[in-house]
Amino acid sequence: MTDTTDYRRLFDLHDRRVLLLGAGGIGREAGLALAAQGAEVICGDRDADTAATTAEGVTGAGGRATAVELDVTDPADLDRRLDEIGDVDVVVLTAAINVRKRLLDYSVEEFDRVVGLNLRGSFTVLRAVGARMVARGSGSIIAFSSIRARTVEAGQGVYAATKAGLEALVRTAAVEFGEAGVRVNAIAPGVVETPLTAQIRADPEWYRAYATKGALGRWSTPSELAGAVVYLASDASTFVTGSTLSVDGGWTAVDGRFVPPT
């Protein structure tokens, strides 16, 4: 049997509709990259201004985009919006929050807020989007995890637990949706210069410490995550599912930057 794949079109997304859930920061750059490859991008966010700003950025760069206000933590609202949007080929979920506190200092309310968006919200998206894609027989779901799903530190326990749980949901969804032709994967960034990391970046010592944890010796920018999103959205990854793609500058591959004498 001869494979007739046209490798020139591996990353061509002109026939894809993409729903972006979480349109700021990394989501914005993902939207710009997807549109640059030809995709139609629906920018969804709980904050209507964020969704609109990203959509305007995409159209301003020559891409196709619209904005929609939605809440991934509200199953009824998400279902209603998905019905209005119609069929989508790709869903990218970036929405997440973090409360940096040690476990003994965490309140139940803070725990519920972080778990409510990061884990319950992810479950809500997988269930709602997955049902529609499975019924249609195709689709790619891309969820954003974190290196914290595998490496933890003081003050990151609840966030880490939600990301580890997210990866378990992604693997399970990949198994359950796979026979219908739906792929489900995660991307695990390292340290990225986004509003979520503003507290760290404001402390020069803390900033340098994180920069030197990875093999490349620096932080990443949101644009450096966009290529992984395009890959998992495209035909270049048609046999990739149930995976977590680390885009962490080597953080999880090395034990800091110290080079011991040999």
Tell me how far apart the alpha carbons of residues 54 and 41 are, in angstroms, rounded to a whole number. Answer: 10
Residue 226 corresponds to which tokens in the numbers above? Answer: 């966009």
Segments in the chain forming alpha helices (H): 26-36, 48-60, 75-85, 108-115, 121-136, 157-178, 198-201, 204-211, 226-233
Tell me how far apart the alpha carbons of residues 16 and 234 are, in angstroms, rounded to a whole number. Answer: 9
- The terminus-to-terminus CA distance of the chain in angstroms comes to 52
* Sheet strand arrangement including 139-144: 64-69, 40-45, 17-21, 90-93, 139-144, 182-189, 244-247
| 159 annotated active-site | yes
Return the axis-axis angle of helices 26-36 and 48-60, rounded to nearest 10°.
30
Number of other residues whose CB lies within 10 A of the CB of residue 247: 19
Under 8 Å between Cβ of 159 and 171: no
Q: What is the dihedral of CA 72, 75, 81, 82, to 10 degrees?
A: 90
Tell me how far apart the alpha carbons of residues 58 and 51 are, in angstroms, rounded to a whole number. Answer: 11
- The count of C-alpha atoms lying within 13 angstroms of the C-alpha of 253, restricted to the half-sphere facing its C-beta, is 11
Catalytic residue among 106, 159, 207, 210: 159
Q: Which residues are part of the catalytic machinery?
A: 159
